[in-house]
Every structure is written in C-alpha cells, then in structure tokens.
C-alpha cells in the first residue's frame, strides 16, 4: 500500500486531531460540497434552457435553411429545385417568401412577419401540432387562409372565418423610385385574406408571424420567381450534417445552408456564454470555499511536526512527506465533491421527474424549470476541483517537506 496514502487516511479519520483542525476540515468539506452541488444544478438548468429553445423553435424550424449570402432574396427556377429534390438525403423542399407587412383588422393595425409557404410546408415542420384554434390548412376549397400567432390574434382581436371583416395585408409597392407616393392607393399593394387558424409556439413567433400561401405572398410582394429562403427536410435515415455539406457543394458559395442551431446561433451562443461565466463564477466560489483546506493543512503540519520528523528519521523522503499532505487535502476535497455531486444530481433528478420548482408564470411554455444533466459538466467540475485542491494544498505540503528534523525530534 502507498505509505503516503495510508498516513493521509489515518490523519483524515483520526479522532485525536485537535478540535479546531477537525472543525476547519469539516467546514472545508461542507463548502466544497455546497459549491459542487450548486455548480451542477446551475449548469443543468442552462442545459435545460438550451434544450427548451431547440424544442420550441424546432416546431417551426426546418432541418436545413437555404438563404442568399448577399441580399434578402434570390431567384429560384425548376433546375435549382430539381437538383435539390434529387440530392442525397433530401426528403422535402419548401419555397418561402418572408418579409414584413402591415396587417389591418377593423380599425387596428400592426407590423407582422408574413411568411408565404408552399402547400407542403406542414409536412416540413410540426407547427400543425401547435394549433389552438381553427385549422392549419392555408387552402380550403380553393380559398386562401392565413394562420396567425396567438399574440397577433390577441393584439388585433381577430375572429376566425369572419367573411365580413377579412385581414388586410399591405406592403410598399415597388415603383422603382426612391420616394414613396403620398397617395396610399399608389404607395401600397393590398390583399385580403381570411384568418383560418391560430398557433401557439413561442412568444416571439406568436406575437409577429402570419403564415399565408406562397402565391398570395408572391402577388402581394411582387416577388415573381424570387424567394427569400428554401427549407429542406432531411430524410430520417440520413445525417443532417452530411446532407448540409452535400447541398452546400451542390448550390455553391452564393448560398448559405444553415442547420437548426445555426438558424438561432445568437440565442444559443448567448446561453453558452452565460453558462461559461456562471461556471467561472462558481469555480471562484469553490476556490474560496477550498481556502479552508489551506488553513487546516497548515495547522495540521504544525500539529504533526514530530510525526514528520520521525518519518524522516526513519528514511521517508521529502516527496513522501509532501504527498501525505497533498493526499490529505485531496481526501477532504474529494469527499466534499462526491457528496456535492450526489446531492446535485439527486436534486436535478427530482426536478426532472417531479418539477419541484415551478416557473411561477401562468403564461410560461413549461410548468417547471427545465434541467438536463450532462456528463461533460461533471467532468469539468471534477477537473476544476482537482486544480483547486492542488493549488491550495501545495504550499502546506511543501512546508511540511522542508521541516528541520533535528529541531522537531
């Protein structure tokens, strides 16, 4: 058995340690345990929020989104569409025209994001599962219908299938001039459409989006054969990353092919940055909590001077003595860390299973705080504890290995 480890274990479990040293060691373990538990819980909450964002936007986001590198629209022809549809891994291609438009209903109005899509759009996404009123179909009996967000409906008090008061969508007319005509009849293109359904996905989408048939948007915006995006659904048995790379090679550098995460890169990046700063902050808290290990080891070195002198007189090397106190600090820290990890994972499991802590908002998309444990967080926390333990234990251990044997015998 390793002599240094044996002695360190004896010092850790010894009941003859001076009371103050024992108290400080126990405080160190509690501090490390609480810090580790808090770090695991907070990191798991950020993981849960990241997953929640992906889940919410996944209802309306395509697997892959093709947009122009320059400008907000690009020309689409049958050749391009056929090349995409026959590409490996491509299951479905949806044409999209999306732009801001003015929505009027009775005497109320608001600026909305109008999204014109082809008839296969609802085979592309799961937005039809988020319908809370009406029907998701954009064409019924040859007539065009709009699918509106719950926030848009609430803002304008829109009634569905109201043929006496249809929705009016207005868009600035492209006259080729820099100035806009003061005559509203000449300044805006206008079309009417009935509200056929209401969806509830996520606040930002619900408060701004209106889905309409592609030909309706094409006529209102006067886009012709131009599109703002093409949405691609990837076959289930084909990797998204591989299909993304194949499509990018196929259509060239004038287009961007974005996967689900890249479509919301700013939001997901903000969550990751916040998670990183939280990790750094709690790592400093762990460091402060671990300073008690430094003080307890320093006092233990003073208390065990005669023991150290006897060990050296018996032939123990400086390295052996140094390792005794390094391992003593490691045992104190790791016992606290293991307790903290168990408590943190238990609390996260309880939250995942029973939703102990609610969001506290009636309008929240989830009832309780989302949490998700990841093995990478446990690994990073363990590495942080190892680094911190070595940092606070090295000085007392070096002092112990430099004691003068003759003065302490």
pLDDT tens by residue, 10-49: 888 875 555 777 888 888 899 999 999 999 999 999 999 9
Phi, psi of 365 (to 5 degrees): -75, -20
pLDDT tens by residue, 147-157: 999 999 999 99
So what's the pLDDT on residue 384? 92
Answer yes or no: is pLDDT of 363 > 80: no
pLDDT tens by residue, 202-224: 888 999 999 999 999 999 999 99
The string of DSSP codes covering 315-383 is T--HHHHHHHHHHHHHHHHHHHHHHHHHHHHHHHHHHHHH--SB---TT-SSSB------HHHHHHHHH
pLDDT band for position 128 (cuts 50, 70, 90): confident
So what's the pLDDT on residue 330? 92
Answer yes or no: is pLDDT of 114 > 60: yes
Answer yes or no: is pLDDT of 240 > 70: yes
156-170, 178-192, 198-212: least confident range = 178-192
Give the residue extent of every domain in the chain: 3-58+266-401, 71-253
So what's the pLDDT on residue 399? 87
Nearest to 46 by CA among 218, 216, 268: 268
Q: What percent of the chain has pLDDT over 70?
A: 93
So what's the pLDDT on residue 407? 56
Is residue 65 within 8 A of residue 248, CB to CB? The reply is no
DSSP E strands in 51-107: the ranges are 64-68, 74-75, 90-105
Nearest to 24 by CA among 351, 391, 294: 294
So what's the pLDDT on residue 23? 83
Alpha helices in 202-358 (DSSP H): 203-206, 214-221, 240-251, 260-263, 265-303, 305-313, 318-354
Average pLDDT (233-257) is: 94
Tokens 């609430």, residue located: 154
pLDDT band for position 77 (cuts 50, 70, 90): very high
Rounded CA-CA distance 170/300 in Å is 80
pLDDT band for position 65 (cuts 50, 70, 90): very high
Average pLDDT (154-179) is: 84
So what's the pLDDT on residue 204? 86
Provide the mean pLDDT of the chain: 89
pLDDT band for position 183 (cuts 50, 70, 90): low
């Amino acid at each position: 058995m390793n002599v240094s480890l044996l002695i360190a274990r004896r010092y850790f479990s010894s009941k003859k340690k001076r009371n103050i040293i024992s108290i400080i060691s126990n405080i160190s373990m509690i501090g490390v345990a609480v810090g580790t538990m808090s770090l695991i819980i907070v990191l798991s909450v950020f993981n849960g929020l990241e997953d929640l964002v992906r889940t919410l936007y996944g209802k309306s986001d395509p697997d892959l989104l093709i947009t122009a590198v320059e400008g907000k629209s690009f020309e689409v022809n049958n050749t391009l569409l056929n090349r995409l549809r026959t590409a490996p891994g491509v299951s479905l291609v949806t044409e999209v025209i999306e732009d801001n438009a003015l929505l009027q209903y009775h005497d109320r109005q608001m600026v909305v994001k109008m999204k014109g899509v082809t008839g296969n759009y609802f085979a592309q996404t799961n937005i039809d599962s988020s319908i809370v009123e009406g029907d998701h179909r954009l064409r019924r009996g040859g007539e065009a219908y709009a699918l509106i967000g719950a926030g848009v409906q609430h803002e304008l008090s829109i009634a569905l299938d109201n043929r006496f008061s249809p929705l009016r969508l207005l868009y600035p007319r492209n006259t080729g001039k820099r100035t806009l005509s003061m005559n509203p009849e000449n300044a805006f293109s206008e079309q009417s459409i009935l509200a056929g359904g209401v969806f509830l996905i996520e606040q930002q989408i619900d408060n701004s989006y209106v889905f309409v048939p592609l030909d309706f948007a094409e006529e209102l915006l006067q886009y012709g054969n131009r599109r703002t995006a093409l949405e691609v659904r990837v076959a289930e048995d084909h990797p998204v990353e591989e299909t993304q790379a194949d499509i990018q090679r196929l259509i060239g550098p004038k287009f961007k092919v974005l996967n689900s995460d890249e479509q919301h890169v700013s939001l997901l990046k903000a969550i990751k940055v916040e998670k990183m700063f939280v990790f750094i902050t709690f790592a400093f808290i762990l460091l402060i909590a671990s300073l008690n290990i430094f003080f307890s080891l320093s006092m233990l070195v003073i208390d065990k001077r005669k023991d150290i002198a006897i060990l050296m007189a018996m032939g123990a090397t400086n390295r052996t003595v140094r390792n005794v106190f390094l391992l003593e600090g490691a045992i104190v820290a790791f016992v606290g860390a293991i307790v903290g990890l168990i408590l943190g994972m238990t609390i996260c499991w309880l939250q995942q299973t029973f939703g102990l802590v609610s969001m506290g908002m009636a309008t929240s998309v989830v009832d309780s705080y989302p949490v998700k444990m990841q093995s990478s967080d446990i690994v990073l926390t363990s590495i942080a504890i190892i680094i911190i333990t070595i940092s606070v234990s090295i000085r007392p251990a070096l002092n112990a290995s430099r004691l003068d044997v003759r003065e302490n015998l």
